[in-house]
Each structure stands twice: as C-alpha cells, then as structure tokens.
Amino acid sequence: MVATIYIDNDETYRQAKRALDSMKSKYKLVFYARVTKLNRRYTRILKRFDKVNKNRKNILARSWNKGIEKALRQGCKYVIVPNLDIALTKDTIDNLVDFAKKDDSVMWSGRCSNTGANYPQGDFVVNSFDVYDNFSFFMVGPRLFKEVGKFDEMFEPAYGEDVDLQYRIDLAGKKHTCVSSAPFKHFGQTTLKHCKGVTQEKAKGDTDRYFIKKWGGLPREQVYLKPFNK
C-alpha cells in the first residue's frame, strides 16, 4: 500500500484515519507512506505505516512513481495506491487481488460506489475518455512501468497524470480493469478543499495547459496518437 500524505488540518487527518482503518486483507499488507506535508499535530498517523519517506516536492506523480518502485523493489507482488479520502469495504482488497491473480491487465482499480460517473455494469475495461474515480484506488504489478511507463511528473502538483497514463495504456494496447467486486467510497478532493496554499483552479490551469501541449486537447479530449504529436 503506497499512500501519499498531505495532512495539515483536522479534516484531512480524520479522512486519512478512516481510510487506513478500512484497509484490511487476508493478504499481508505492507504500508508505505510518502509524506508531502504533515503538520506535527498529526504525526501519530505515521505509526500506521511500515515504511516512511519524505517527498522533496509536491508532485503526486513523482510520489506514486517512487512509492511503486520501492514497493516492487522490496518484493511486493502487487502495489495498491489509495487516496486517503476513501473508505473500503471489508472484502475490497481481497477481491481486487483475487481478480488480478487471474487477469492479464497491467492495472486494476476498485469500483467507486458513490460516483456520479455513468459506468458500465459489472467489471469493465477503463478507457482514457471516461476515466474518473478509477485512480483514487488502483493496483499495479511490475508490468505497468515496463510495458507502458511511469506517471508523467510534469503534472505538478496534480491533475492530469491519471488520464495521461490511462491514455498511454490505451495506446499501448494494454488493459486497466475496474473490478466491480472491489467497491470503495471516494469523498473527493479533500486536500484541495481543506488545505491552505492549494487551489483547484491554479492546479488544473497549469496541468491542463501541459496536457493540451502533450496530447492536443484537454483531459478526456486528447487527439494526438504520440506525445507532443511527434
């Protein structure tokens, strides 16, 4: 489990604690924390983690890349990357892993049960024109970085890195499967709603401009078949 930590108020702490409390499994779980910001009032949250590293910059894609690489390097067969503003059911992790063990996708995600997105019934293959909550709780193995590549760290601090990677999965002819038996609830953009110094307008403005430059359109409206049309 690789979680990026950005906690500087009571609400983000409460959300993170609830998320971690819901993460149970019959499989052995190793918890990796990637700390971007943590007010010292809430450092007790780190007791929930087996490994703790500090992010030098507030770049979500870099945090995910480094966390996934470290977990794989240390022998994890699968790496789950959860937002800390979610809640799982008691069987979510087990069902996600059980599904992946019999499947040939390069990525798997749980199914958000409180989304407004109009997803297909049952399990389905995610595509980059409809991806929404899928990257709030996803899992990968070693094949993703080998066959598709890492998250693009030019998306700073966040937004767009999920659609960008999903589009590259699509272009590579690989699969990201959303698993209906692995439900979760996503409470949505907790960091941006409650943390000082981070605004959705500023973050999305910068990352949208980069996405357009790279793919010829806004996220979910991409046009180019190669990065930067080259």
Q: Which two tokens stand for residue 27?
A: 């499989």
Contacts of 6 (CB under 8 A, 6+ apart): 12, 36, 37, 38, 58, 191, 195
3-state percent breakdown (helix, strand, coil) of the chain, nearest 5: 40, 20, 40
Domain that holds residue 148: 2-222
* pLDDT reported for residue 188: 74
Helices and strands of the chain, counted as H and E runs:
7, 9
Residue 90 lies in a domain: yes
Residue 227 lies in a domain: no
* pLDDT reported for residue 218: 97
Statement: the pTM of the whole predicted model exceeds 0.75: yes
Residue 8 lies in a domain: yes
Handedness of CA 10, 204, 154, 137 (dihedral sign): positive
Query: How far is Cα 87 from Cα 118, in angstroms, rounded to an integer?
Result: 20
Residue 159 lies in a domain: yes
Please name the residue that has the structure tokens 């049960």. Answer: 113
Instruction: Give per-residue pLDDT as tens, 122-141.
Output: 999 999 999 889 999 999 99
Number of domains making up the chain: 1
Residue 7 lies in a domain: yes
Residue 111 lies in a domain: yes
Residue 132 lies in a domain: yes
Residue 210 lies in a domain: yes
Contacts of 196 (CB under 8 A, 6+ apart): 8
* pLDDT reported for residue 205: 87
Query: 35 has which bridge partners?
Result: 5, 54
Percent of the chain with pLDDT over 90: 89
Q: Is the pLDDT of residue 194 over 80?
A: no
Query: How far is Cα 110 from Cα 85, in angstroms, rounded to an integer?
Result: 14
Q: What's the CATH code of the domain at 27?
A: 3.90.550.10
From 15-29, 75-89, 195-209, the region with the lowest mean pLDDT? 195-209
Band of pLDDT at residue 191, cut at 50, 70 and 90: low
Q: Is the pLDDT of residue 209 over 70?
A: yes
